[in-house]
A and B are shown apart, each in its own frame.
Chain A
């Protein structure tokens, strides 16, 4: 038994320790290098992700500039291939995933009433190894023979027999990215399982927390498989093994099986947190509780479960037997059921709600509509017999950009605008934010919608040149691309303005918003919920 005085002493001592900590808190660059604060690390992740988004976007501009006209005019084909490859790698591992991890760092402790992430030092590590991974990857572009040019999917034997000498750098950078996301995922799971406020039961968790918990499990399940497959590529190329080399008894098709066993759950890693974000924003601006909370949780879990048994739908044209094609086709289509549950729940949440259209809501609504378009083209691709026509065409490019740009990235923008007042303490400039939204919305559709038609007409993906009949549509697509790229600079303007000043934000700037993060002042103090809050 501890007496009251002792307790008070301990509390006082702890208070002193925190104060002391504040005193010796490093300033300047060291503050950011050494920080273990979840808000600092969240900010670092978000800034890093946006920087990488611009770098990967610049590469997309090179691609679209080259494709503006048929023929080869700006870059040579090998460099073009490096651009498509590194654009994909950067957007997947450098932009979307770190952005979600940044949001998780910032918001999950505040949403569950925890003082910080459970493993703050590991948190610092998992961020600070990322810049090195991408420095290595980007550095490989300047090596003799060029960087990776085999597509972000690095199929063997393109990545083994036919790849440039810098492939080892690609492999090591993917290893580091993998270690970073595994550490991030472990941190998220431990935080959610162990650090919830005492009254925060599982079915009271905000959906962003739920979707991230499930995403984190997907991450620790498949990132090690990615690490394994890149290691096999490394040893096949440099150490004479024959995992994927038929001459030595291996099988290049096996690469695709292992890769997509990672790759399909990976695409849900990039969309499940979006579902959580949209499930927070739509109720806030429709001023109604989320329709079908429990079904949202179960739908997320079933999507995650199904993601492990659909990988071969990326490989319909590899000569699979009929039974395999049918199995993977039906399983893939089955995913539309829980996804449909989600879409209908969002629509039902809005039904007869008192809706207003602030910028986070605009992005969330665009997400629902445009992600659904991406979902439908996904269903079309799931149909095995027609996939033989769509495979490796611009139809596939259109599909995954609808789910990743207007899906994942739009939801990240929605989240950024929704929580920006909480992060900066200032309201953002609504005019420029709306400009950002409308310019992005129009240009993104000019950019990606015509790609469906290019694909159906037979234009293959990942080529620097194309047949003349595709010239007009490619010009439109490229113009949309440049406009979309430029529109993203507006986001920089909005965020920098909000960080510097502006109208003071209230603790709860959005009338209908729910959740613990709105009970702390804006900007959120450096330390929040040092004592667990009460939960309704």
Chain B
């Protein structure tokens, strides 16, 4: 027979079970919030959606140059807030054939009287074009220590993948320069800094 106390304990057991499951969902969703961070990076790496370029040098593979068309690549440089170091590319823009290796120089200067560490963060517009801009060498792969007053010429080598869709005629590669001298942590890109 179901006495009221029996019913109560039954209820309590059922409640406990359900609460347990719901707490699991809560914990899983809390984890999911953090899992979105690597998921986002992986998703953007694969699709190039947010204009991130490769953070490690691509291995040189022979690619056939596509001499039938030219793509304009524009170079934009910004300083992050609080950074007042002259930072420029040697060229505002360049026209290249897809598949042809090109080198561009960027110049940065430390006008202060203290040693600093700079980190450039690249971003490509339109975002979908980012995955076709392949860099063999970039100063943005490494942290750039600058002695007081030092002027540094930094090379950047890239080619445009020939399979880039024809509707992308211009790529804008923007670099933002950050002062990371006082940061305790290592930026994600620094792992690849081994020479």
Asked if B1 lies at the interface with its beta carbon under 8 angstroms from chain A, I say yes
14 A-B residue contacts at CB 8 Å?
A186-B22, A190-B22, A193-B18, A220-B22, A221-B25, A225-B36, A240-B183, A240-B184, A247-B119, A247-B180, A248-B185, A251-B44, A320-B49, A321-B49
Point out which of A7, A246, A253, A324 has the most chain B C-beta atoms below 10 A from its C-beta: A246
**A186 contacts across to B, CB distance below 8 A:** 19, 22-23, 26
A227 touches B30 (CB 8 A): yes
Question: CA A41 – CA B53 in complex, angstroms?
Answer: 54
- For the complex, is A176 an interface residue (Cβ under 8 Å from B)? no
Cβ contacts A230-250/B at 8 Å (1 or 0 each): 001000000011110011111
- Residues of B contacting A174 in the complex (Cβ-Cβ under 8 angstroms): none
Residues 58-77 of B, flagged 1 when their CB comes within 8 A of A and 0 if not, give 00000000000000000000
Q: Nearest-CB distance from B55 to chain A (Å)?
A: 8
Instruction: Write the nearest CB–CB distance from B129 to chain A, whole angstroms.
Output: 10
Q: Are B3 and A247 in contact (CB under 8 A)?
A: no
Of B27, B49, B51, B183, which is within 8 A of A248 by CB? B183
What does the 1/0 interface line of B27-70 toward A look like (CB < 8 Å)?
10110111011001100100101111001000000000000000
> Does A28 count as interface, using CB distance less than 8 angstroms?
no
B4 surroundings in chain A (CB, below 8 A): 10-11, 14
Q: Measured between C-beta atoms, what is the minimum distance from A103 to chain B in Å?
A: 21
* Given A249-B188, A251-B40, A257-B40, 11 additional A-B pairs, CB 8 A: A2-B3, A11-B4, A186-B22, A194-B18, A224-B32, A225-B30, A225-B33, A240-B183, A248-B180, A321-B49, A324-B49
**A258 and B188 in contact (CB under 8 A), knowing A221-B25, A247-B178?**
no
Does any Cβ of A come within 8 Å of B5's Cβ? yes
Contact A248 B187 (CB under 8 A): yes
> What chain A residues lie within 8 Å of B47 (beta carbons)?
321
When A251-B50, A319-B51 are in contact, do A228 and B127 touch as well, CB less than 8 Å? Answer: no
Find chain A residues with CB under 8 A from B34 CB.
228, 232
Cα–Cα distance between A10 and B184 once the two chains are bound (Å): 67
B33, A321: Cβ atoms closer than 8 Å = no
B121 cross-chain contacts in A, Cβ below 8 A: 246-247
Q: Tell yes or no: B93 within 8 A of A by CB.
A: no
Knowing A190-B18, A257-B40, say if A242 contacts B33 (CB, 8 Å): no
B155 within 8 A of A: no
Distance, CA A321 to CA B126, complexed state (A): 8
B15 close to A (CB within 8 Å): yes
- Give the A-binding residues of B (Cβ under 8 A): 1, 3-5, 11, 14-15, 18-19, 22-23, 25-27, 29-30, 32-34, 36-37, 40-41, 44, 47, 49-52, 55, 80-81, 119, 121, 125-128, 176, 178-180, 183-185, 187-189
Q: Closest 9 CB pairs between A and B?
A: A249-B188, A228-B33, A247-B178, A224-B30, A224-B29, A225-B33, A248-B187, A249-B187, A246-B121
Q: Roughly how many angstroms separate A247 CA and B125 CA in the complex, as a whole number?
A: 19
Which residues of the other chain, A, contact B180 by a CB distance below 8 angstroms? Answer: 247-248
Check A468 for interface membership: any CB of B closer than 8 A.
Answer: no
Output the least CB separation between B1 and chain A (Å): 5
Closest to B11 in A: A194
What are the interface flags for A70-108 relative to B under an 8 Å C-beta threshold, 1 for contact and 0 otherwise?
000000000000000000000000000000000000000
Taking CB atoms, residues of chain A closer than 8 Å to B126 are: 319, 321
Contact A241 B18 (CB under 8 A): no
Question: Are A254 and B178 in contact, CB atoms less than 8 angstroms apart?
Answer: no
What residues of B have a CB within 8 angstroms of the CB of A249 in the complex? Answer: 55, 187-189
Which residues on the B side are within 8 Å of A220 (C-beta)? 22, 25-26, 29
Instruction: State whether B30 touches A228 (Cβ < 8 A).
Output: yes
Q: Report the Cα distance A229→B55, complex, angstroms.
A: 25
User: Which residues of the other chain, A, contact B18 by a CB distance below 8 angstroms?
Assistant: 189-190, 193-194
**Residues of the A chain whose Cβ atoms lie less than 8 Å from the Cβ of B178:** 246-247
A1 CB-CB contact with B under 8 Å: yes
Q: Which residues of B contact A240 (CB under 8 A)?
A: 183-185
Cα A119 to Cα B11 with chains together (Å): 11
Q: A186-B19, A225-B30, A243-B37 are in contact. Are A319 and B188 (CB under 8 A)?
A: no
Beta-carbon contact of A190 and B30 below 8 Å: no
Q: Is the CB of A194 within 8 A of B176?
A: no
Q: Which residue of A lies closest to B44 (CB)?
A: A251
Give residues of chain A (260-290) contacting chain B, Cβ–Cβ below 8 Å. Answer: 261-262
CA distance A508 to B80 in the complex (A): 66
Residues in A neighbouring B183, C-beta threshold 8 A: 240, 247-248
Asked whether any CB of chain B lies closer than 8 Å to the CB of A182, the reply is yes
